[in-house]
A and B are shown apart, each in its own frame.
Chain A
């Protein structure tokens, strides 16, 4: 299985909105509504911010929203803040008890 493709980097200014894409295949992202997103500040534990395509865990800011269309999932960060600067990974169930992570996007806040 190959990793869903994410842009290597996305940047924005404080207060802006940015959208990260995650393009998989009909065997993973396109097939299952089990896309999740993780925020990772280097040196820290990755953090779940979206599950099952568009659901936010308790305690996660509503500035994070997500959706899916076909083989592509998207994560939008609204009202960009300095603390949002991190690596973001999508992940998808890929069948037969396997999972696949996206290639990751580094978000920079200018």
Chain B
């Protein structure tokens, strides 16, 4: 069974940093590109970032570019999102999701981890 389990969320002060993790199981992790998507309270889903199977390609939404860094460790079947200079607008549930190479849809998602930026 495919499983994606996010962790690392919590409350952080404005200007602070946080690193999210996503543990993958039930599939060959390095066959897939991985994405982060977030859901701010009362708003809609927002695509955040992607990383290729080997980490060579990364990309970010304009809203997080320069502040967030995505990475992966295929030996640990894990995906990460380093978030710096956090502000209130970054408050959201953060989901990791997988995308098979050559496709353009996210076929499996985690249940999310909540990041709250507040003083």
Contact = CB atoms under 8 A, between A and B. Distances in A.
Interface of A: 1, 3, 6, 32, 34, 36, 38, 40, 43-48, 51-52, 57, 89, 91, 93, 96-104
Nearest to A46: B109
Given A100-B47, A101-B45, A57 B109 contact: no
Contact of B105 (A6, A51, A98, A103): A51
Contact of A48 (B46, B105, B112): B105
B95 A46 contact: yes
B44 interface: yes
B47 A99 contact: yes
Given A3-B46, A45-B4, A48-B105, 13 more contacts: A32-B104, A34-B104, A34-B105, A40-B45, A45-B112, A46-B109, A48-B108, A57-B107, A89-B45, A91-B45, A98-B59, A101-B37, A101-B44
Interface in B1-59: 4, 35, 37, 39, 44-47, 50, 57, 59
Given A38-B45, A46-B45, A52 B61 contact: no
